[in-house]
Structure 1
Amino acid sequence: MQTFQDFGFNKTLTSALDAINFSEPTPIQAQTIPLALAGHDILGSAQTGTGKTAAFALPVLQKLIENDTASALILTPTRELGKQIMDNIHQFLGKGSGIRTAFIIGGESYGKQMAQLRARPRIIVGTPGRINDHINRGSLDFDMTRYVVLDETDRMLDMGFTDQLERIFKQIPEDRQTLMFSATMPKNILDMSRKYLKSPKRIEVGGSNVIADNLVQDIMRVPEEQKYDELVIELAARYGTKIIFVKTKFATERMAKRLRADGYAAEAIHGDLKQAKRSRVIKDFRAQKFDILVATDVVARGLDVPHVEHVINYNLPQVAEDYIHRIGRTARAGAKGHALCFISPQEGRQWHAIMQLLDPDAKPDPRFAGFSGKNNKSKRRGGGKGYGKGQAKGQAKGQGKGKGHRPTDKTASHYSKTPSNNNPRNDNNANDSQTKKQAQTKAHNKPARGKATSRHTDDLNGANYAAAAAKPKKVKSSGPRRAKSGVNTGVKKFDPDQPLSRQPSKKHSGKPVRKHTNAKNKPNISKPGSRKFNNSNAPRPRKKA
């Protein structure tokens, strides 16, 4: 049986490993550590919760102890994963190692990070975005960097860090050792490995896209509007700490507040929280001060909380690979765990993508026939658009429950292309007398404006109604009236020979009133003696004695 003593680690590392009860390496550690100590680049993949952090951290620390001038850079996609890696490194180093570290992530003050960088750390753990910020500021120097680690590389690419990673690698010397780890190995990861790794050793433990054997999965087909009621029932039946994954940041806060109102101890975590609050929430969750954590995919990777027993997917992830990372928060390090998925009809395509990822040869589940197939489309009405306040809900259900304007005839025709016999709009053979009677009743019930005259009454009764209804309505012009050549529109124009009182107003004239300008560009049409008269050459009236 292989132990950590067989790797020939420094006494500092072996004593620290003994203090934290690290005796036997996991399969990924047993295969990675010897190759990394030999100086090979590594492309590794394994299931979540199998000890990838120790697989790359221990050989890097051994290299730094042997080389006093070298430094290492470890990149992670999220702050939570970076914090966990930094804590593990401090455990492995123990006290009195003399190796300084720096934690460079977004959400923390630059002053604190600049102080860490001025201390010339030999291990830097950070996220690509903030590392690039310090590169632009000139506060980071990678001349002595000889070891680079990329953890959860597929997640970094999914988050759009491709350009940032390229700029970072341009600053690092070519004479380096690179270790790249990921739970999944899509095509873009393999392309990236060919670009930045030199003859890497491929390590795969347990296969990619594989779920742990000690994980029990439950699946429920639930309409979207009934999910919360089912969630409350499941929470009452399940004991232990739980993580509930939802789709949006706003949904985390809303659900946590609703659960607290129903008597549950719940907290929310998402990317918009300040780093101090995110750290506090994770710390309290580890200490079991509350038992329900409502989260987005920000904690789907790297969060290692051993006592998590249940993972509930309230909403399915948008990316199929994230499903594996979500349920990987439980059943870690050999412990048992449970995963529950609520699947609504609108999430049929996402569930089918997840099933294809887990088992490409799997047949559609008959329990979800009707919305798990590839060619299936969710039922929609009204073109998938809502009206009024129900528009957001209507995007998934069609018309929705909005209180705004009613659907137009064009929208209504989307429901049925054949005219209905019960709809008077589509009945071309409706009785004219019945139509006349309905119009008379409508006019009788409609209050008239002002005093009704006899002509007004006659037009809405008898035979005159048909002529009045057939008469086309006048349509107001949307733009100003403009005179055509040779046509008298009746619009009066400004006449300079007429006094001001006879000139047309701007409202009724076809063009604005033409102004006689002086040196100050003001109209000079006032009578002498008035305050607006500004002709300095005109005689002023004499004051009476």
Structure 2
Amino acid sequence: MSAPQASSSSAPQQQPEDWKKQLNLPTKDTRPQTEDVTATKGNEFEDYFLKRELLMGIFEAGFERPSPIQEEAIPIALTGRDILARAKNGTGKTAAFIIPVLERVNPKIPKIQALLLVPTRELALQTSQVCKTLGKHTGAQVMVTTGGTTLRDDILRLGETVHILVGTPGRILDLAGKGIADLSQCPMFVMDEADKLLSPEFTPVIEQLLSFMPKERQVMLFSATFPLIVKDFKDKWMRKPYEINLMDELTLRGVTQYYAFLEERQKVHCLNTLFSKLQINQSIIFCNSTNRVELLAKKITELGYSCFYSHARMLQQHRNRVFHDFRNGVCRNLVCSDLLTRGIDIQAVNVVINFDFPKNAETYLHRIGRSGRYGHLGLAINLITYDDRFNLYRIEQELGTEIQPIPPVIDRSLYVAPGTEEEVKGAQEAAKAGQKVAVPAGVGGHGMQAPQVRGKDRSLPPLPLSSSSSSNPRHSSSTSSRLTRCLSSSSSLSSSTTARMRLGQARTARLSLPTSSSSTASSSSTASLSSTTSSSSRHSCSSRLRRWRRASSDERSATTRERR
């Protein structure tokens, strides 16, 4: 008797690839990418035998295939071996350690199983969000803790299940030292931006944290730069680490670098001209001090452009709000100190401006790495004064790169992806017609990539530029007066130039600056950004300043006589 035949009405067996069709995939990013992320071996995420729940989170986050650093780091990290990895900014280092951490975490064990250390609070928030996004289907519980927040909330949260702990060294050491965070069964220890974490200010804290962890642990270090101090840490705390170095060149290939040679008092005018001529999607403007950050943000706001600012002396809640709103595209321009030079990944940033030129090559490398993220195009413009000329030469030599003089016209194809303008225009027209459309990849929440127009692209008023934004009372009480003095001395324009800028006459046919103080009478007398003010202009400004001082002195004398 023949074997019974299978019923034809039985449900067909599910194919292995059917689960991919049910994923909620984001809009595909069609922007071109450089070899920094495309020079791969051709591997796929499925080749690493990751959990399906993790693969679902990876694909839904927009990842298609691993970048070079991910290809090198993920399979080694999955074996539990120590790793010392060096790769360029914006090439996928964060996912290179988060993916193996999520794979190795067991959600059924209610213990902290991975500790991720970062140097800044903003980077901690970003890293924890990436963990939650990639691991949303795995059941792993992620907690972030930083300084500037209440310890009570952290204590309550650690009373619940936490598998991955992300934070800054000081706060985590505080929690571990008080016995609140139990790291005795935490086998994975990761340091992002490891060169900063191994600086003299952090090294004692790191070593104390390691004493709370088991001896059989995996230590992974990731950064774009590794100073000599890393070797001492490696020899003392790591066991035959697998070293990855993908830094055949230091700077990103997609970032074009220019410098503009000018005087200090011309910087604001130069910045205004750049705003009006460049197709800025979002920009980050760096200053070397917190006072100058607030000063410049105030000046940009007065000129009519939307602007936020952030620095280390602000209240933590204000810093969090600025970071969140700027990341969501609420504002176009962010003025900040070196607080945001490390790890911050905002895809919509296509222009970085060094209003104050950095003092060392490491800071410069991390600053310009905020644009051109993940192999995309970016633009870095440096405002150079006479005192910065030696730093410019030294940084070029150390990084092995060339920073060129800024041309009269900057080619948009160097920092704007082809086809983006058409996509944005189509999205804007569809939005006007009431249709729901997806925002093109790499475009901020404002959905614009045209030259900025004063007063018309401010989606939200900027944070208050008053003294209340600072957490230091002594600093805050005199901030306004100091900013006023700075504005009237080193960083401000002459009164005639400021008036002309406010009338909207500063947009010239080329990227240019005034060459004399008489430019008020004739707006056509312009020069290249790389030109300096003539000696007659300086003599004219000095004579006007002397006359103003004499007039002020006469007024004070007359007032004194009247009082007597």
Q: Taking structure 1 as the reference length, what is the TM-score of the superposition?
A: 0.64
Q: Name stretches of at least 5 consecutive residues in structure 2 with no aligned partner.
A: 1-41, 407-481, 491-564
Q: CA deviation at 1:263?
A: 0.5
Quick check: 1:104–1:131 contact (8 Å CA) kept in 2?
Answer: yes
Whole-Å separation in 1 of the counterparts to 2:247 and 2:385: 31
Q: CA deviation at 1:185?
A: 1.6
Give a deviation string over 1:157-209, Cα, whole Å, max 9, x none.
347211111111121111100110111121112222222211001101233x6
> Among 162, 169, 172, which residue is 1:128 paired with?
169
Kindly indicate whether residue 334 of structure 2 is the aligned counterpart of residue 293 of structure 1: yes
Whole-Å separation in 2 of the counterparts to 1:159 and 1:270: 22
Quick check: 1:105–1:126 contact (8 Å CA) kept in 2?
Answer: yes
Quick check: 2:43–2:66 contact (8 Å CA) kept in 1?
Answer: yes
Kindly indicate whether residue 184 of structure 2 is the aligned counterpart of residue 146 of structure 1: no
| Correspondence 1:92-107 to 2 at 5 A | 92-95=134-137, 97-107=138-148
- Give the superposed CA RMSD: 2.4
SS at match of 1:318: coil
**Which residue type is aligned with residue 237 of structure 1?**
K
Kindly indicate whether residue 238 of structure 2 is the aligned counterpart of residue 231 of structure 1: no
> Among 379, 396, 402, which residue is 1:338 paired with?
379
SS at match of 1:264: coil
Which of 228-237 and 40-49 deviates more?
Answer: 228-237
Kindly indicate whether residue 115 of structure 2 is the aligned counterpart of residue 64 of structure 1: no
**Which residue type is aligned with residue 119 of structure 2?**
P
**Which residue type is aligned with residue 144 of structure 1?**
Q
Question: Who is 1:83 aligned against?
Answer: 125
**Which residue type is aligned with residue 130 of structure 2?**
N
| Correspondence 1:450-465 to 2 at 5 A | none
Q: CA deviation at 1:346?
A: 1.9
Kindly indicate whether residue 12 of structure 2 is the aligned counterpart of residue 12 of structure 1: no
Kindly indicate whether residue 255 of structure 2 is the aligned counterpart of residue 215 of structure 1: yes
SS at match of 2:187: strand
SS at match of 2:243: strand
Task: Quickly say closer, same or farther: Cα 1:263–1:191, change in 2 above 3 A.
Answer: same
> Among 25, 29, 34, which residue is 2:70 paired with?
29
| Correspondence 1:314-393 to 2 at 5 A | 314-359=355-400
Give a deviation string over 1:406-452, Cα, whole Å, max 9, x none.
xxxxxxxxxxxxxxxxxxxxxxxxxxxxxxxxxxxxxxxxxxxxxxx
Give a deviation string over 1:223-244, Cα, whole Å, max 9, x none.
2222222111122111221110
Quick check: 1:74–1:151 contact (8 Å CA) kept in 2?
Answer: yes
Whole-Å separation in 2 of the counterparts to 1:203 and 1:93: 25
Whole-Å separation in 2 of the counterparts to 1:364 and 1:82: 32
> Among 242, 263, 273, which residue is 1:201 paired with?
242
Give a deviation string over 1:293-349, Cα, whole Å, max 9, x none.
001111111111111111000112233201111000111112111000011122234
Q: CA deviation at 1:53?
A: 0.7
> Among 166, 184, 201, which residue is 1:160 paired with?
201
Task: Quickly say closer, same or farther: Cα 1:159–1:265, change in 2 above 3 A.
Answer: farther
> Among 138, 148, 154, which residue is 1:113 paired with?
154
Quick check: 2:310–2:319 contact (8 Å CA) kept in 1?
Answer: yes
Larger Rg: 1
Question: Who is 2:287 aligned against?
Answer: 246
Larger relative contact order (Cα-Cα within 8 Å, sequence gap ≥ 6): 2
Q: CA deviation at 1:144?
A: 0.5
Task: Quickly say closer, same or farther: Cα 1:312–1:365, change in 2 above 3 A.
Answer: closer
| Correspondence 1:372-521 to 2 at 5 A | none
- Percent sequence identity is 33
Whole-Å separation in 1 of the counterparts to 2:330 and 2:143: 29
Task: Quickly say closer, same or farther: Cα 1:363–1:134, change in 2 above 3 A.
Answer: closer
SS at match of 2:126: helix
Whole-Å separation in 2 of the counterparts to 1:271 and 1:318: 19
Task: Quickly say closer, same or farther: Cα 1:50–1:159, change in 2 above 3 A.
Answer: farther
Question: Who is 2:14 aligned against?
Answer: none
SS at match of 2:363: helix
Whole-Å separation in 1 of the counterparts to 2:404 and 2:349: 28
**Which residue type is aligned with residue 268 of structure 2?**
Y
Q: CA deviation at 1:67?
A: 8.0
> Among 310, 316, 319, which residue is 1:275 paired with?
316
**Which residue type is aligned with residue 282 of structure 1?**
F
Q: CA deviation at 1:366?
A: 11
Whole-Å separation in 2 of the counterparts to 1:144 and 1:203: 27
Whole-Å separation in 2 of the counterparts to 1:43 and 1:237: 43
Whole-Å separation in 1 of the counterparts to 2:182 and 2:358: 38
Task: Quickly say closer, same or farther: Cα 1:50–1:365, change in 2 above 3 A.
Answer: closer
Quick check: 1:242–1:311 contact (8 Å CA) kept in 2?
Answer: yes
Whole-Å separation in 2 of the counterparts to 1:324 and 1:250: 23
Kindly indicate whether residue 307 of structure 2 is the aligned counterpart of residue 258 of structure 1: no
Whole-Å separation in 2 of the counterparts to 1:331 and 1:364: 16
Quick check: 2:114–2:164 contact (8 Å CA) kept in 1?
Answer: yes
Whole-Å separation in 2 of the counterparts to 1:103 and 1:115: 13
Whole-Å separation in 2 of the counterparts to 1:334 and 1:178: 28
Task: Quickly say closer, same or farther: Cα 1:145–1:290, change in 2 above 3 A.
Answer: same
Q: CA deviation at 1:66?
A: 8.2
Whole-Å separation in 1 of the counterparts to 2:309 and 2:102: 35
SS at match of 2:105: helix
SS at match of 1:145: coil
Kindly indicate whether residue 65 of structure 2 is the aligned counterpart of residue 38 of structure 1: no
**Which residue type is aligned with residue 306 of structure 1?**
Q
Quick check: 1:71–1:122 contact (8 Å CA) kept in 2?
Answer: yes
Quick check: 1:4–1:22 contact (8 Å CA) kept in 2?
Answer: no
Which of 219-228 and 251-260 deviates more?
Answer: 219-228
Task: Quickly say closer, same or farther: Cα 1:115–1:353, change in 2 above 3 A.
Answer: farther
**Which residue type is aligned with residue 238 of structure 1?**
L
**Which residue type is aligned with residue 210 of structure 1?**
L
SS at match of 1:333: helix
Whole-Å separation in 2 of the counterparts to 1:179 and 1:364: 34
SS at match of 1:23: coil
Q: Name stretches of at least 5 consecutive residues in structure 1 with no aligned partner.
A: 368-388, 398-545
Q: Taking structure 2 as the reference length, what is the TM-score of the superposition?
A: 0.62
Task: Quickly say closer, same or farther: Cα 1:274–1:265, change in 2 above 3 A.
Answer: same
Task: Quickly say closer, same or farther: Cα 1:203–1:175, change in 2 above 3 A.
Answer: same
